[in-house]
Amino acid sequence: MKVKVFHVLSLLIVGAVLIAACGSSTPAASGGGAGAPGKMKGDADAGKTKFSSTCVACHGPEGKGIPGLGKDMTTSTFIKGQSDDQMVEFVSKGRPASDKLNTTGVDMPPKGGNPSFTEKDLYDIVAFIRTITK
Ligand code: HEC
């Protein structure tokens, strides 16, 4: 009799452990988060810091542009028309004055002239730009 009770109890414990294990593996499995449209999602707060260290030199602290240097981003229809992936692509290449799409005659340097920026850095910066573009 005593043995039987022990068996039932141990089955219950095993069951509880299994349920707990399944329960905790669920958020980990869905936490992968990939599959959203676009390659990567940037972090706007991190992007602001990176923007303020590099892009600010020509585009100004609020992205409004500095005459003779960088363009106003806040009213840019070009930026509005680009997906995040396309923006990252654009910023990594820049737009030299020799490019026929260049509108100012001033170079937009690749990665804003900061070759140490990774792709993730550029996605962060793009996420920040989205917060200042009207
Ligand atoms: C040395 C100055 C300079 C720096 C630094 C710079 N830019 Fe630019 N950027 C420009 C210029 C000049 C243009 C306009 C090019 C043109 O005439 O089409 C431009 C254009 C752009 C545009 C396109 C805007 C539009 O409406 O066509 C984007 C987006 C942009 N820059 C993003 C960035 C980002 C992001 C950084 C920092 C990683 C950065 N820029 C750093 C000079 C700069």
Q: What pLDDT digit, counting tens, does each position of 17-47 carry? A: 444 555 444 344 444 444 457 889 999 999 9
- Tell me how far apart the alpha carbons of residues 6 and 121 are, in angstroms, rounded to a whole number: 58
Q: Are 122 and 91 in contact (CB under 8 A)?
A: yes
pLDDT of 134 reads 86
Q: What's the CA-to-centroid distance between 69 and ligand 1, angstroms? A: 8
What confidence tens digit (pLDDT) does each residue in 63-119 have?
999 999 999 999 999 999 999 999 999 999 999 999 999 999 999 999 999 999 999
Looking at residue 32, its pLDDT comes to 41
CA of 94 to the centre of ligand 1 (A): 7
Distance CA 30, CA 36 (A): 12
Nearest-CA residue for ligand 1 atom 18 is: 102
Task: Check pLDDT > 60 for residue 15.
Answer: no
**CB 104 less than 6 A from any atom of ligand 1:** yes
What gap in Å lies between CA 70 and CA 18, rounded to an integer? 59
Mean pLDDT, rounded, for 123-128: 98
On average, the pLDDT of the chain sits at: 84
Question: Distance of alpha carbon 117 from its chain centroid, rounded?
Answer: 13
Q: Pick from 71, 75, 104 the residue to mutate for probing ligand 1's pocket: most ligand atoms within 8 Å of its CB.
A: 71
Q: Taking the CA atoms of the chain, what radius of gyration do you get in angstroms?
A: 25
Residue nearest to atom 28 of ligand 1 (CA): 91
CA-closest residue to ligand 1 atom 27? 78
39: how many CB neighbours lie within 10 A of its CB?
A: 12
Q: What is the pLDDT of residue 112?
A: 98
**Ligand 1 atom nearest to CA at 95:** 15
**Mean pLDDT for the stretch of residues 119-126:** 98
Report angle CA 101, 107, 110 to the nearest 5 degrees: 95
Cβ–ligand 1 contact at 60 (below 6 Å) = no
Confidence at residue 70, expressed as pLDDT on a 0 to 100 scale: 96
